Amino acid sequence: MTSSRVIREDILRMIHSAGSGHPGGSLSLVEILLHLYWNEMNIDPDNPGWEDRDRLVLSKGHGAPALYSVLARRGYFSTDKLDSLRKYGSGLEGHPHMQSLPGLDCSTGSLGQGLGIAAGLALGLSIRKSPARVFCILGDGELQEGSIWESAMSIPNLMQTNITAIVDRNHIQLDDSVDKIMPIEPLAYKWRAFGWTVAECDGHDPADIERAFSTVTGKPLVILAKTIKGKGVSFMEHKALWHGRAPDGDQLQEALEEQE
Ligand SMILES: Cc1ncc(C[n+]2csc(CCOP(=O)(O)OP(=O)(O)O)c2C)c(N)n1
């Protein structure tokens, strides 16, 4: 498995070279994506269109730099492409565009839509008796979107147990804390009331992530992953300021020096 350090360095370099992007919510996703693409998902990077592959819907599409780094390191496309983030025609759009890059299962970016798309994918797969599963990563601020809860209510009703939702619970949204803008707790209680099994984990601890994913359930599973926005870069951690801002040259250097 590629190390989280490599992914974090990619993210920082990519966003610096693009001059724009979302470091905070990309850095919080690293260990979750590493687990999915190396340990959890049944995939074949040489055959990205394989019909029975597991799917990932990155509903918080602004975390694209983390996903692009993981896809490249997993072998879907050359790592040389990573420095073309947000460059016209590169395929590494600011938000995932599935027709532009191998390995993307869904185009996202408009928050609130991913879980509904994941529900449709999971339903289609089970109708044609595919063993494939669908994973959907949601932001915690994103949970303020009403459409998420319509999907959360529909999925247990459709008996879709081939779906796992993961909430990147980093407590910060675009410009302030989720608690200040519109509190979403009690989160575990809410998901349970909607018919889901809830597992919680430290979203930066690989063993704890693995434990949460292996929860046995006859219901759809949601994992509430406790994460840190900007994880791994001291001056970015817990800071809404770094939601959507590129590090300049000096900041990039400082951030890279902190990576072990
Ligand atoms: C429908 C919609 N409204 C607004 C935005 C702009 N936007 C992009 S990211 C973001 C904050 C998301 O916060 P959260 O889900 O907590 O993501 P994270 O902190 O993990 O980056 C907003 C409001 C959007 N992409 N889509």
Is residue 159 very low, low, confident or very high in pLDDT (cuts 50, 70, 90)? confident
Residue nearest to atom 4 of ligand 1 (CA): 111
What is the token pair recorded at 214?
């292996």
For residue 18, the model assigns a pLDDT of 98
How far is the centre of ligand 1, averaged over its atoms, from the C-alpha of 138 (Å)? 10
Helices then strands, each counted (H, E), the chain = 10, 5
Asked if residue 216 has pLDDT above 80, the reply is yes
Task: Say if residue 168's pLDDT is above 80.
Answer: yes
- Mutation test of ligand 1: which of 59, 113, 173, 187 has the most ligand atoms closer than 8 Å to its C-beta? 173
* Residue located nearest, by CA, to atom 25 of ligand 1: 110
Residue 13 backbone phi and psi in degrees, to 5: -65, -45
Ligand 1, residues at Cβ distance < 6 Å: 24-25, 28, 60, 62, 109-112, 139-142, 168, 170, 172-174, 229, 243
Say if residue 234 is exposed, middle or buried (CB neighbours under 10 Å; 0-12, 13-18, 19+). exposed
Q: Which residues contact 248 (CB under 8 A, 6 or more apart)?
A: 16
Residue-wise pLDDT tens digits, 90-99: 999 999 999 9
Q: 50 CA distance to ligand 1 centroid (A)?
A: 31
**Across 101-115, average pLDDT:** 98
pLDDT band at 149 (very low <50, low <70, confident <90, very high): very high
The answer on pLDDT for 228 being more than 80 is: yes
* Closest protein CA for atom 11 of ligand 1: 174
Q: Indicate the average pLDDT of the chain.
A: 98
Residue 129's pLDDT is what?
98
pLDDT band at 127 (very low <50, low <70, confident <90, very high): very high
* Minimum CA distance residue for ligand 1 atom 7: 174
Res 190: pLDDT = 98
SS3 assignment, position 55: strand
Residue in 19, 22, 14, 70 with CA at minimum distance from that of residue 172? 22
Quick check: 235 pLDDT over 90? Answer: yes
Helices (H), 84-177: 114-127, 146-157
What is the 35 CA–ligand 1 centroid distance (Å)? 23
Mean pLDDT calculated for residue range 79-91? 97
Alpha helices in the chain (DSSP H): 4-18, 23-27, 30-35, 64-74, 114-127, 146-157, 178-181, 187-193, 206-213, 249-257
Q: Does the pLDDT of residue 260 top 80, yes or no?
A: no
The structural domains of the chain, ordered by start, are 4-257 (3.40.50.970)
